[in-house]
């Protein structure tokens, strides 16, 4: 979880933060999914 919250990409950090703030209990699997499904902001896709 620490890796997700310390990531330098602002889009990934924002997505993980939004998902976490909507949780009643911290769910690492959901945080990992949010982190991995967000494209880095420097992506050219």
Provide the residue ranges of all domains of the chain, joining segments of one domain with +. 2-37
Q: Give 14 or 39, the one with higher predicted confidence.
A: 14
Q: Give 2 or 17, the one with higher predicted confidence.
A: 17
- Tell how far CA 8 is from the center of its chain: 11
Interval 4-36: pLDDT, tens: 667 678 888 888 888 888 888 888 898 888 888
7, 8, 45 from 1: Cα distances, Å = 10, 14, 26
Please report the pLDDT score of residue 4 as a whole number: 65
Q: Are 1 and 35 in contact (CB under 8 A)?
A: no
With a cut of 80, say whether residue 3 has pLDDT above it.
Answer: no
Residue 1 pLDDT class (50, 70, 90 cuts): low
Q: Give 1 or 34, the one with higher predicted confidence.
A: 34
Copy the structure tokens of residue 20: 């976490």
């Amino acid at each position: 979880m620490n890796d997700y919250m310390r990531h330098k990409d602002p889009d990934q950090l924002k997505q993980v933060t939004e998902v976490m703030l909507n949780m009643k209990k911290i769910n690492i699997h959901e945080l990992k999914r949010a982190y991995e499904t967000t494209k880095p902001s420097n992506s050219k896709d």
